[in-house]
Structure formats: structure tokens, C-alpha cells
């Protein structure tokens, strides 16, 4: 039976961010993830994690100016110093929050920057970040994101990500496989999961179309959950979806997942 972590950036959004931790526990989640913690003091979050006995499984490095359209900066040769500063900030939070893996957003291909130069910058920055994280026992993750939801994003394919990981040549860089994004970009999900499982450290889910909860779209989640059990995947699956009709109203899929896999709570 897969283990599900509530993504507090997309679930329980009718509540303030800090109140979502209690909601996650009250609704049966043992773990949480979110995009960014940087608007909060670390102790505000650690207090909620301890109070509600929740594991934090993932958050992202700072993305730059999100409101201005930044979606990471790791591939931008003009922002290497800023990227290195962002790694330091992320590590400060990660150590206090006790998280053991961080996601580095690649960013959009900068205007007037050749793709080859962006790629070289991306590899260099990933090696820098991986080395800094390794000192603290933290894994670094990269995630391909579909270019229809995020036009211009640099990392869009699972094989592209695998090639980058191989080129970086470090032992704490892994793949974050988002089922929603890879269905939109590639399809053939079962084959990808089988092929890439040795590189996969974290999985996220949502259905297509709409990015809603499993069971609302075209993805055969009963089959994929059984496959992940068959393959022996023992990591967390982050529930990074937009509830179609409210978080609580949409949580029934988790009970269905027990029947799909023959698992127990």
C-alpha cells in the first residue's frame, strides 16, 4: 500500500498555512510536504510537525521571485551567485525542519541564453547544491515539469532528467517523478516507472485533465499503485493535486486505494 503525504500548498487551502498541519493529521495523513517554507519562521513549522506527529518529507529550494514569474534559477548563468545563496537558505531551513530531501527547480530557459549554456549552468549548479546537501545528509531532487502548465521550463522529460543525473555524477541526486506532469508530457507511465525506479526518490500525483485527485481523470491509478507495490517502491507519494470540490470532499480516493492494492491503513 503506497504511503501518501499531504501537499499543504494544494490541500486544505481553505485554512491558513499553519492550520493545514492539524487538518492533515485529523484526516489521516502521517506526512506532509509543501512548496516553500520561507515565509514562516522555522520554529513555527517545527512546532506544528511535533504537535501533530507529522513527518516533513519534502520542500523546494527558493525559486527566485515567484510572483514575478520565476520558477527556479538553476539553469540561469546570470544568477549563479543568487542560486548558491538560495542553497544556503534552504539548508538552514532543512536542518531545523528535519527534512531529508530538497527539490531544486530548474527554472525557465532565460531569454537570449543558448540552451547548451543553460544546460552547463544547470549541471554546475546541481553539483554545487548536491555537495552542500551531502554534508548534511540530504538528498537533492530534480523534477521534470510539463511545458503546457509552465511554458519555457527547462527540465521537461524524465529521460532528460536521467541524463542530467548521470552527467552530474554525484550519489545524492535523484529523480522526483510527478505522475501528472509525465502523463501530460510523455504518457507510458508504467514503462517509465519500471525503467527509472532506481533513480526515483519521491513521487507526486494528480489526475489528468484538471490536476485533480486520483479517479477524476484518465490515469489508471489502481494499476499504478499496484505496480509501485510490485516494484517495491517504499518512498512517499506526495498528493500535489487541486481538489475538484474541496479537500475533504475529495479524500475518498484514499479508501479506494486500499481496495485497489489490498492494503490497510
Question: Residue 23 phi/psi, 5° resolution?
Answer: -65, -40
Burial label, 38 (beta-carbon count in 10 A; 0-12, 13-18, 19+): middle
Helix/strand/coil for 103: strand
Question: Residue 186 phi/psi, 5° resolution?
Answer: -130, -35
- C-alpha cell, 53: 506527529
The residues assigned a catalytic role are: 143, 240
Burial label, 190 (beta-carbon count in 10 A; 0-12, 13-18, 19+): middle
Alpha helices in the chain (DSSP H): 20-26, 42-51, 80-97, 115-134, 158-168, 179-185, 189-196, 221-231, 252-261
Amino acid at each position: 500500500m503506497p504511503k501518501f503525504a499531504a501537499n499543504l500548498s494544494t490541500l486544505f487551502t481553505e485554512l491558513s498555512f499553519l492550520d493545514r498541519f492539524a487538518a492533515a493529521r485529523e484526516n489521516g495523513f502521517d506526512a506532509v510536504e509543501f512548496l516553500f517554507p520561507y515565509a514562516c519562521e522555522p520554529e513555527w513549522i517545527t512546532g506544528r510537525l511535533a504537535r501533530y506527529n507529522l513527518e516533513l518529507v519534502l520542500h523546494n529550494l527558493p525559486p527566485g521571485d515567484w510572483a514575478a514569474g520565476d520558477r527556479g534559477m538553476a539553469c540561469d548563468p546570470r544568477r549563479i551567485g543568487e542560486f548558491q545563496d538560495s542553497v544556503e537558505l534552504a539548508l538552514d531551513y532543512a536542518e531545523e525542519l528535519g527534512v531529508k530531501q530538497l527539490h531544486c527547480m530548474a527554472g525557465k530557459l532565460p531569454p537570449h541564453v543558448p540552451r547548451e549554456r543553460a544546460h552547463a549552468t544547470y549541471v554546475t549548479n546541481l553539483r554545487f547544491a548536491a555537495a552542500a546537501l551531502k554534508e548534511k545528509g540530504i538528498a537533492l531532487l530534480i523534477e521534470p515539469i510539463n511545458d503546457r502548465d509552465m511554458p519555457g521550463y527547462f527540465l521537461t522529460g524524465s529521460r532528460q532528467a536521467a541524463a542530467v543525473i548521470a552527467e552530474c555524477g554525484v550519489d545524492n541526486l535523484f529523480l522526483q517523478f510527478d505522475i501528472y506532469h509525465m502523463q501530460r508530457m510523455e504518457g507510458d507511465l508504467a514503462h517509465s516507472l519500471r525503467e527509472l525506479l532506481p533513480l526515483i526518490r519521491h513521487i507526486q500525483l494528480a489526475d489528468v485533465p484538471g490536476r485533480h485527485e486520483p479517479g477524476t481523470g484518465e490515469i489508471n491509478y489502481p494499476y499504478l499503485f499496484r505496480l509501485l507495490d510490485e516494484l517495491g517502491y517504499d518512498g512517499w507519494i506526495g498528493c500535489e493535486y487541486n481538489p475538484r470540490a474541496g479537500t475533504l470532499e475529495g479524500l475518498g480516493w484514499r479508501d479506494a486505494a486500499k481496495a485497489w492494492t489490498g492494503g490497510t491503513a
